Amino acid sequence: MSEFVRVAALSEIPDPGKNVYEVDDRFVIVIHAGGQVYCLDDVCTHDDGPLGEGDLEGYEIECPRHGAKFDIRTGKPTLMPATQPTQVHEAKIEGDSIFVRLVD
């Protein structure tokens, strides 16, 4: 497991909102929702689509390619055609900074 890395200021991502960042050669989505931050791989497990380009509604993000949806808290798919979860990473707020630690 890697160390926590600062990816953004909390003020850079509205609540609700999201941004894509590259952390250790991996693209991840950092999501600010309900006063918390979440982080998951920027990939739909159905066809490797860019989840970060999808719509965020509540605690779900929708893949823009085929409409698969994932729970941002767990990475689990909530709507077909995806059947496998996307990887979730640790995210935390310290002061006005967002930190992410990649999980493999």
**Structurally, how many domains does the chain consist of?**
1
Closest CA to 7 of 28, 72, 35, 55: 28
Could you list the pLDDT tens digit for every one of the 104 residues in the chain?
689 999 999 999 999 999 999 999 999 999 999 999 999 999 999 999 999 999 999 999 999 999 999 999 999 999 999 999 999 999 999 999 999 999 98
| Burial class, 38, CB count within 10 angstroms (exposed 0-12 / middle 13-18 / buried 19+) | buried
Cα Rg of the chain, angstroms: 13
Q: Is residue 101 part of a domain?
A: no
> What residues contact 64, with CB distance under 8 A and at least 6 apart?
49, 50, 53, 54, 55
Q: Is residue 100 part of a domain?
A: no
**What is the structure's pLDDT at 43?**
96
Does this model's pTM top 0.75?
yes
CATH number at residue 24: 2.102.10.10
d(CA 33, CA 72) in angstroms, rounded, equals: 9
Q: Is residue 1 part of a domain?
A: no
